[in-house]
């Protein structure tokens, strides 16, 4: 049984009109856990379960932890999820609702991850939230679905946190011999890929800041950085306020609530930051985000 589902691919009349091209939305927000993480995490958890795993341990800013907790419940296994203090109460509640043991520890994912690693023993398996080939393989299926639906994209727009989405999307495109521009979007306070690309080496940020907490990896996975060096990856940064305003606009236009981490990529279209050609089909990965509610999103505007 595959844990993730085939998500809708829908045309966006509003974003198409704004950007004078054809904008298509891959609605990963429709996954049972609310984000694309179920594709990546689900693949890893299933593989480890088939090899005899009994207990999953994961560190997460939110979405990966929710996905591990869900996968463990569906596979009748145990899960321990360690999240930093910045993880939203909504995300923490969803992890606990799935029956996982939740630990809140540290000011950032780095501290949470250190504790998670220390808990691993012979009876448990550590599930990395973004740096594992199994994760990228799971995400690559997303591109298979797009191609099977009859869409041949001319560009892809996506958000970048730890880099698993970027790595998996490129793997999927390579599988179909598609070489197109990929616009990799980060908030100004979480722009670890941008910093690495500017430096030309796999570096880490000293700190991560801002409201897009699920993008808050001080360093992208090495795979994502290396792929950015030999593919058409274009790095863009947006403000926290741009992400929030785009989340509200998307809620109005598509009746779907997403978190600021997803609003980052949407803001590229709402703010018309890229010049597309009228004939181009632009694929936007609506990565989702379960750890958000309208009250919290509204609070970000205060």
List, for residues 101-157, the tens digit of each pLDDT value.
999 999 888 899 999 999 999 889 999 999 999 999 999 999 999 999 999 999 999
Does 160 share its domain with 286? yes
Model-level pTM?
0.94
3-class DSSP string for 156-216: EEEECCCCHHHHHHHHHHHHCCCCCCEEEEEEHHHCHHHHHHHHCCCCCCCCCCCCCHHHC
Bridge partners of 237, per DSSP, are: 186
Dihedrals φ, ψ of 299, to 5°? -65, -30
Percent of the chain with pLDDT over 90: 88
In a domain, 1, yes or no: no
Does 48 share its domain with 172? no
Number of structural domains in the chain: 2
**183-198 burial by CB neighbour count: b if 16+ within 10 A, else e?**
bbbbbebbbbbbbbbe
| Inter-residue contact 139 to 83 (CB < 8 Å) | no
Does 93 share its domain with 220? no
Tell me the two tokens of residue 255: 């009746």
Of the three residues 104, 127, 150, the one that is the final residue of a domain is 127
In a domain, 89, yes or no: yes
Does 21 share its domain with 110? no
In tens, the pLDDT along 241-300 reads: 999 999 999 999 999 999 999 999 999 999 999 999 999 999 999 999 888 999 999 999
In a domain, 4, yes or no: no
Does 69 share its domain with 182? no
Of the three residues 109, 127, 145, the one that is the final residue of a domain is 127
| Inter-residue contact 272 to 18 (CB < 8 Å) | yes
Does 48 share its domain with 119? yes
Residue 3 half-sphere exposure, CB side, CA atoms within 13 Å? 29
**Pairwise CA distance, residues 167 & 165, whole Å:** 5
Beta carbons within 8 Å of 55's beta carbon, 6+ residues apart? 77, 78, 79, 80, 123, 124, 125
Kind plus residue range of the DSSP H or E element containing 95: helix 89-97
CATH number at residue 273: 3.40.50.1100
Mean predicted lDDT score pLDDT of the chain: 95
Dihedral over alpha carbons 97, 100, 104, 105 (to 10 degrees)? -160
In a domain, 2, yes or no: no
Does 21 share its domain with 89? no
In tens, the pLDDT along 202-241 reads: 999 988 888 887 777 889 999 999 999 999 999 999 999 9
In a domain, 3, yes or no: no
Residue matched to tokens 């939305």: 25
pLDDT for 61:
85
Does 15 share its domain with 45? no
Does 174 share its domain with 192? yes
Does 101 share its domain with 119? yes
Does 123 share its domain with 248? no
Does 96 share its domain with 204? no
- Beta strand 78-83 with 101-104 is parallel
Please, what sign has the CA dihedral across residues 36, 37, 38, 39? positive
| Inter-residue contact 259 to 214 (CB < 8 Å) | yes
Domain hosting residue 173, numbered range: 9-36+132-299
CA 123 to chain centre: 28
**Pairwise CA distance, residues 24 & 10, whole Å:** 6
pLDDT exceeds 80 at position 93: yes
Of the three residues 95, 112, 127, the one that is the final residue of a domain is 127
- DSSP class of residue 152? -
In a domain, 57, yes or no: yes
């Amino acid at each position: 049984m595959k844990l993730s589902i085939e998500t809708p691919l829908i045309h966006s009349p509003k974003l198409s009109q704004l950007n004078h091209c054809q904008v298509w939305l891959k609605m990963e927000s429709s996954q049972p856990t609310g984000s694309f993480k179920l594709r990546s995490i689900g693949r890893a958890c299933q593989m480890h379960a088939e090899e005899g795993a009994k207990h999953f341990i994961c560190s997460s800013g939110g979405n990966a932890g929710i996905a591990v907790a869900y996968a463990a419940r569906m596979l009748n296994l145990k899960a321990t999820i360690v999240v930093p203090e910045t993880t939203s109460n909504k995300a923490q509640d969803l992890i606990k609702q799935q029956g996982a043991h939740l630990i809140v520890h540290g000011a950032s994912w780095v501290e949470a991850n250190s504790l998670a690693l220390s808990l691993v023993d012979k009876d448990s398996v550590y599930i990395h939230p973004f740096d594992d080939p199994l994760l990228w393989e799971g995400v690559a299926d997303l591109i298979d679905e797009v191609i099977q639906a009859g869409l041949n994209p001319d560009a892809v727009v996506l958000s970048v946190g730890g880099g698993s989405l970027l790595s998996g999307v490129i793997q999927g495109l390579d599988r179909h011999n598609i070489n197109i521009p990929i616009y990799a979007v980060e908030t100004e306070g979480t722009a670890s890929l941008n910093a690495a690309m500017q430096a030309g080496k796999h570096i880490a940020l000293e700190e991560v800041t801002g409201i897009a907490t699920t993008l808050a990896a001080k360093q992208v996975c090495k795979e994502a950085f290396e792929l950015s060096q030999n593919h058409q990856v274009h790095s863009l940064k947006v403000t926290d306020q741009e992400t929030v305003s785009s989340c509200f606009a998307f809620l109005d236009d598509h009746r779907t609530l997403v978190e600021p981490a997803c609003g980052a990529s949407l803001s590229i279209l709402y703010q018309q930051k890229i010049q597309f050609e009228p004939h181009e089909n632009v694929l936007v990965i609506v990565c989702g985000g379960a750890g958000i509610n309208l009250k919290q999103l509204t609070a970000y505007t205060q």
